[in-house]
Amino acid sequence: MRNQTETMIEIKNLVKKYGSFTAVNGIGFSVNKGEIFGLLGPNGAGKSTTLEMMVGLRKPDTGSAIIGGFDIAKDLLKVKEVIGIQLQSTTLFELLTVEEILKLYASFYQKNVLIPELIEDMVLTEKTKSRVKTLSGGQKQRLAIALALVHDPWILFLDEPTTGLDPQARRTLWDIVLKLKEKGKTTVLTTHYMDEAQVLCDRIAIMDQGNLIALDTPSGLIKSLESDSAVEFQYEGNLLTQELEQLDGVKQVGKHKDTYVLYTDNLQETLITLIQFTSEKQIQLTNLQTRTSTLEDVFIHMTGRSLREE
């Protein structure tokens, strides 16, 4: 019998090179049953390549992947029975209806879920008889997930599931992923949205330039920063980072264009000394604001760059 703490995925030292360029540089981690596991990183970090190696779509140069207890190098057909995949490039038959395309996909497998229930779970009931080409971006994305689920897989792989969707459609999709977790599914998703990773994921592997640079729960990653808060402001002139680092509580200073960020473990002291410092120097700050630290800050702290930079 399978139990709650069972390891569903175990990958070790995955490497993928394209010529002399290393897209994935020795990645390893494991994922437990029922987890939503996120691969977070900027564009080009190697997230999709890692995911594609995990589902057998790209052959790793070295390393191993055991998915649902089966080795992708030896038992790919078995792996395919227990996984569902939604890729960024999923192409759908535009002229079929939602119901027709799901029935078609279901006919490829011996084991099936009930199609009307699946349609309902994906918030597509009203679109059951609509042709695929009439669906919105969010609806198409949910249909792509439905197609990945027709054979009731244990593990779902989602590659950038909400890229290009409006905020409402993103939230609907997040709800669906969370409901699948309640049903016991294990999900691996890639994303470059830190809010998505923070809301959805039980654990997050942060990737950068083909490397895994951190792996923990969202709160564990944020706790790893010595600072729990950030003070942000804009100033058009040049402030010396060293001087800002001397302010009370400040652990690190970030700067992007004319925005400065002070990472602090003592918000009140930092604010007081910042105001003193800037009024003594007659520096006029704009857009002064405070916030709690985020995964974006974790990424900046580890790489010196923003997730948003491309």
- Interface residues with ligand ADP (CB under 6 A) are 18, 23, 41, 43-49, 190
Q: What pairs with residue 188 in β-bridges?
A: 37, 157
- In the complex, what is the shortest distance from the CB of residue 88 to ligand ADP, in angstroms, rounded to a whole number? 9
To ligand ADP, the closest distance from the beta carbon of 11 in angstroms equals 15
User: Starting from the edge strand earliest in sequence, which strands make up the sheet with 250-256, in order?
Assistant: 250-256, 259-264, 229-234, 286-292
With tokens 């058009």, the residue in question is 236
β-strand pairing of 211-216 with 83-86 = unpaired
Nearest distance from C-beta of residue 149 to ligand ADP, angstroms: 22
Which two structure tokens, joined as six digits, stand for 32? 């437990």
Query: Whole-number minimum distance, CB 254 to ligand ADP, in Å?
Result: 23
Q: Is 118 left (phi over 0), alpha (psi -120 to 50) or beta?
A: alpha
Tokens of 123: 């918030």
Compare residues 47 and 203 and give the one whose CB is closer to ligand ADP: 47
- Residue whose CB is less far from ligand ADP, 17 or 78: 17
Closest approach, Cβ 274 to ligand ADP, in A, equals 36
Which amino acid is it at 225? L
Q: Where are the beta strands (DSSP E) in 76-144?
A: 83-86
In the complex with ligand ADP, the residue whose CB is nearer, 47 or 185, is 47
Q: Is 202 exposed, middle or buried (0-12, 13-18, 19+ CB in 10 A)?
A: middle
Whole-number Å distance between alpha carbons of 170 and 98: 20
* Strand ranges of the sheet holding 83-86, from the earlier edge strand across to the other edge: 83-86, 155-159, 186-191, 36-40, 203-208, 211-216
The least CB distance from residue 72 to ligand ADP, in Å, is: 17
Nearer to ligand ADP, 195 or 245 (CB): 195
